[in-house]
Structure 1
Amino acid sequence: MQLRRCGTDGVLVEVDSLGEVEAVRAALAAARLPDVVELVPAARTVLVVTRPGGVPAVRAALAGVDPVDHPAAAGDEVVLEVRYDGPDLDLVAETAGLTAAEVVALHTGADYRVAFCGFAPGFAYLTGLPEPLRQPRLDSPRTKVPAGSVGVAGEFTAAYPRATPGGWRLIGRTDAPLFDPRRPTPALLTPGARVRFEAAR
């Protein structure tokens, strides 16, 4: 774990894996440091923004944290209902050597966690995707992916909160309100949250 100063009131924590990112984020969230303004996890970093003078407390809180052995916190669980009728469902099944029904069973049978958010407001990168569903992005991205589309790409699965371009393989869609700026917490899925997908009946 390396700590790099970011401006006068921030520190960037660099680690080696998504699991370590979650451990650092969870440890700092649990410490409830009064001067921490924001925690921003990414693929291999956590940006910690503090009020003036808050960085030393962050360094002290991290001094006793081993991100490799630190267990992830048990976040709130969000259940997303999905209609598994995506345009790439058959492609994902064929690539994995499975039937479409087996893809759905794998996707709904796994436990996911929000690793970080990015790309678009409310777009959450979820870890926990079963190995057969870890597939590359499309060779040619779509110019417009409909809001609510559920896709897979690499080690992640995600749901698009709004219509945007995108190259993920789309396996379904959800009507869940993934992002609403009028809510106190606009994003439905926030770092550390646990997520489960259910097939719509």
Structure 2
Amino acid sequence: MNQGLRCKLQLLGGCVLFLLVVNLIGSQAWAKELKILAFGDSLTAGYRLPQGDGFPEQLESRLRAEGHDIKVINAGVSGDTTQGGLARLNWALADQPDVVILELGANDALRGIDPAITKQNLDQMITLFKEKGVTVLLAGMLAPPNLGAEYGEQFNSIYQTLAKKHAVALYPFFLDGVAGNPDLNLDDGIHPTKEGVAIIVDRILPYVLKVIN
């Protein structure tokens, strides 16, 4: 083999190695940069829970325990309605999330807000998230029974309707397995304890894994 050909082969080999290293670094950077935005109300914020016991922290711990290097951002605001969420959505997008768990609507129902307004606000939020390239996992909510059957039917159908319209993943009821159980809720009967949050994480985790994969 002449000297010129040998140099060319060495140069080509070096270029291939360089590209492989760049690709590996890029893949590792993506894994480290994956961010999930927990965008909701007090149920997301960790109302009256010590630091580390709330939904975002427990979900992040579970994901990391399963080998996923993922950051879960707490974007929950206690008392927030869907109107409040819509108003602060652009601020939340500054974190540049890859996935959002959209958990809003409980306070709309508690205040008896017209379900048509709740639906419109959630519709706009899902649209805006998708326009920014954020994958949406919509977390459903159920209206309190004391508001009547008609209100309940209108409100409860919002989440499935929007999930179908926008072709996004739906977790049917965020408080599944926890709502109504005094052992899993604080003394207000509404907000989950640390143990209640753990059950929420257990049940929503398969949906989250499906979305990120």
> Could you say whether these structures have the same fold, taking a TM-score greater than 0.5 normalized by the shorter chain as the test?
no
* Structure with a larger share of its residues in strand: 1
> TM-score scaled by structure 2?
0.24
> TM-score scaled by structure 1?
0.25
* Structure with a larger share of its residues in helix: 2
